[in-house]
Homo-oligomer: A and B are copies of this chain.
């Protein structure tokens, strides 16, 4: 999402994907999260990594802090002025499968000659890992076994649009 025009207030969006994008989907935000997962914490580090204007970075970090994705923590070295750093909250860390999913998708579908810069692995077993769907027992669920079930909160107007689309001759 961008400064092209206002999205509706994200809290009004019935779609969780749209709400998530309201917080995480601004230009640069996924890359800020990438940097945070790689250990960057200070404003100047994010700026050096991303090469973006300070006001844009400030705005993106403020959105993340406002929505509890990152926390802004004051710290002070003896004899220096107070500074702060930005760290992922639990909510932020839970976005890791999305960020890693973007990475894995890019590795596979937009590959470079040099190969991937990062591999995803289980520390304990050393096995290569991927991002997927997992059931309550911790077992992977195949893509074609995944089902999205509409609840009674699903917007009627949208359900009708989908029904009309499904009825349309192919």
Point out residues on A near B: beta carbons under 8 Å: 1-4, 10-11, 14-25, 27, 30-31, 34, 37-42, 45, 48-49, 67-69, 75, 77, 85, 91, 93-110, 112, 114-125, 127-141, 143, 145-151, 153-155, 158, 161-162, 164-166, 168-170
Cβ of B130 and Cβ of A131 under 8 Å apart? no
Cβ of A132 and Cβ of B134 under 8 Å apart? yes
Cβ of B140 and Cβ of A136 under 8 Å apart? no
A135 contact from B94, B103, B122, B137, Cβ within 8 A: B122
Cβ of A16 and Cβ of B107 under 8 Å apart? yes
Cβ of A146 and Cβ of B129 under 8 Å apart? yes
A153, B117: Cα distance in complex, Å:
5
A19-B155 in contact given A120-B133, A133-B130 (Cβ < 8 Å): no
12 A-B pairs in the complex with CB atoms less than 8 angstroms apart:
A2-B27, A11-B110, A19-B110, A45-B164, A85-B170, A94-B109, A98-B131, A101-B131, A118-B150, A122-B141, A129-B135, A132-B132
A170 contact from B75, B138, B147, Cβ within 8 A: B75
Q: Which of A25, A117, A123 has the most CB of B within 10 A?
A: A117
A168, B103: Cα distance in complex, Å:
27
A4, B139: Cα distance in complex, Å:
42
A94-B100 in contact given A16-B117, A17-B34 (Cβ < 8 Å): no
CB closest chain-B residue, reference A38: B162
